[in-house]
Amino acid sequence: MKKINNLVFGVCWMLLSVVSACETEIEFNGEERVPRLTVSVVAVAGSPLTVDVSASVFFLDRGDEGYTAPLDTVQGRVRVFVNGSQTGLEAERLPETGLFGLRYGCSYKPAPGDRIRIEAAFPGLDAVSAETQVPLIPRFEVTAVSPDNHELTLRIQDDASFEKYYSLRVFKTYEDESGAYDLPVIFTSNDVIFHKTSTGLADLFDIGGSEDWQSVQLFSDALFRGKSYTFKIRVQDDEPVFVELGAVTDSFYWYATSFETLRDLGGFTLFVEGVPLYSNVSGGYGVICASAYSSVKIEW
């Protein structure tokens, strides 16, 4: 036994020596990216507007702050322009942190149909801007409820001649000493309009905790554009729930699906195939998008 152990030890030592001897430094000869402003906005109809701002960092320059660079919050400005107004609403820095950086907000609550332009300017970086339009509140109804198997029949009235995008989620509401909150509920469907099992929007837009929105389904009206469409879902919960249908902008949809593709390939590491994330921010990175929701309460 002692000879076998010595032999194993010797082989391991040889392997470690070979691995150590093969370690070399590789010089990076690619293009180095300069820092740019990154802006993330989800304008939700009826909710106060918030703007998340950060600065990108070239991956070889990552420091203690990760892949973000410090911003001058004294001279930096974030402005919101609504429906072509030439006078922008000044957004103020909020105490909570945003998605990877700073968070700004204003009292303005987007309304369905509003056209919104965001402009951000910080010293040492190129100014950025982007626009989006808040969708109209989608029309849908629950036409049948089956308490035995928790199956719901839903009908969407799609009234647009152009391509539209939707989100669907099911949730419960609770309230404790800290306030009211939503708890997502898993649902399933075999309908052809759903091409993915889940979309983790919490990772994209900083919505709730890590488990929130895991049951959100994104889909387009490609199969029923301008028509009424009926489909079924099955809810995995015995308590009363809310079914929420959202109309989302194309920028919302394409950013979410590109992020999902990247995550399916292994996430943000150096050893996966590069996947370009969708961006509609001029002069920088990020996404400006919008959504509008309607919901129905279901009592089993």
Domain range summary for the chain, segments of one domain joined by +? 37-133, 139-276+292-298
| pLDDT of res. 73 | 80
H helix intervals, the chain: 2-21, 201-205, 250-264
The neighbour count for residue 270, using CB atoms within 10 Å, is 5
Over its C-alpha atoms, the chain yields an Rg (Å, rounded) of: 24
Which residue would you say has higher pLDDT here, 72 or 18? 72
User: What pTM was estimated for this model as a whole?
Assistant: 0.79
C-alpha 68/C-alpha 37 separation (Å) is 10
Whole-number average pLDDT of the chain: 80
Query: Does the structure show a pLDDT above 80 at 143?
Result: yes
C-alpha 234/C-alpha 151 separation (Å) is 4
Query: Does the structure show a pLDDT above 50 at 10?
Result: no
Q: What is the pLDDT of residues 207-231, one digit of tens each?
A: 433 344 446 888 999 999 999 999 9
**For residue 219, what are its two tokens?**
């889909």
| pLDDT of res. 180 | 82
Please list, in sequence order, all residues whose beta carbon lies within 8 angstroms of the beta carbon of residue 164, skipping any fewer than 6 positions away: 135, 158, 220, 221, 225, 247
First-to-last alpha carbon distance for the chain, in angstroms, is 68
Question: Could you give the percent of the chain with pLDDT greater than 90?
Answer: 52
Q: What is the pLDDT of residues 256-270, one digit of tens each?
A: 888 777 666 655 555
| pLDDT of res. 55 | 87
CA angle in degrees (0–180, nearest 5) for 209-213-218: 150
When mean pLDDT is compared over 197-206, 231-240, 250-259, the highest value belongs to 231-240
**For residue 232, what are its two tokens?**
């079924």
Please list, in sequence order, all residues whose beta carbon lies within 8 angstroms of the beta carbon of residue 213, skipping any fewer than 6 positions away: 169, 184, 199, 200, 201, 202, 207
What one-character-per-residue DSSP string does 122-164 give? -TTS--EEEEEEPPPPPEEEEEEEETTTTEEEEEEE---SS--
Q: What is the mean pLDDT of residues 165-189?
A: 88
Query: Is the CATH code 1.10.1060 the one for domain 37-133?
Result: no
Q: Are 137 and 87 in contact (CB under 8 A)?
A: no
Query: Does the structure show a pLDDT above 50 at 113?
Result: yes
Which residue would you say has higher pLDDT here, 188 or 196? 188
Stretch among 37-51, 134-148, 166-180 having the lowest mean pLDDT: 166-180
| pLDDT of res. 1 | 47
Q: Are 116 and 128 in contact (CB under 8 A)?
A: no
Q: Residue 197's pLDDT band (boundaries 50, 70, 90)? A: very low
C-alpha 227/C-alpha 47 separation (Å) is 29
Q: What is the sign, positive or negative, of the torsion defined by CA atoms of 247, 250, 251, 252? A: positive
Q: Which CATH class is domain 139-276+292-298?
A: mainly beta
What one-character-per-residue DSSP string does 182-202 give? EEEE-EE---TT---S---HH
CA angle in degrees (0–180, nearest 5) for 163-221-109: 70
In 3D space, the residue among 262, 292, 298 whose CA is nearest the CA of residue 277 turns out to be 262
184, amino acid identity: P
Q: What is the mean pLDDT of residues 155-182?
A: 89
Same topology for domains 37-133 and 139-276+292-298, yes or no?
Answer: yes
State how far Cα 131 lies from the chain centre: 17
How buried is residue 192: exposed, middle or buried, by Cβ count under 10 Å (0-12/13-18/19+)? Answer: exposed
